[in-house]
Amino acid sequence: MVLVPLIIVLLLLTKIGSILAFILIFIYIIALLIAKPIFIIAVSKLISNKININNYIIILLLSTLISLICLIPYVDIVLSLFMVLMGLGIIFVVKS
């Protein structure tokens, strides 16, 4: 998560790598934006397999619960970081 912005900065310093850097910025932002929903979907599938309830209901309840927990000031930062890291991990594990 820290290495990608460093690589982007290094690529922006070269003329040849600047186009690649902008493509990498776009991919990185998209990955960060979809990491939380992918984490929520993965956790809801785990829960719906354990207790036979519709997956959409669990997604709604889990999203509401996470939104309420994120109202606590310092828990928001830790929970968001955890969800993004786990979501990125899910993306890269499923992709490979």
Number of domains in the chain: 1
- CB contact at 8 A, 70 and 79: yes
Domain of 70 in residue numbering reads as 3-95
Q: Which of 45, 63, 62 is nearest to 54 (CA)?
A: 45
Q: What are the phi and psi torsion angles at 38 (to 5°)?
A: -65, -40
Q: What is the mean pLDDT of residues 67-87?
A: 92
The pTM assigned to this predicted structure is 0.81
Model pLDDT for residues 39-61, shown as the tens digit of each residue: 999 999 999 989 888 889 999 99
| 53 Cβ contact partners less than 8 Å away, ≥ 6 residues apart | 47
Model pLDDT for residues 63-75, shown as the tens digit of each residue: 999 999 989 989 9
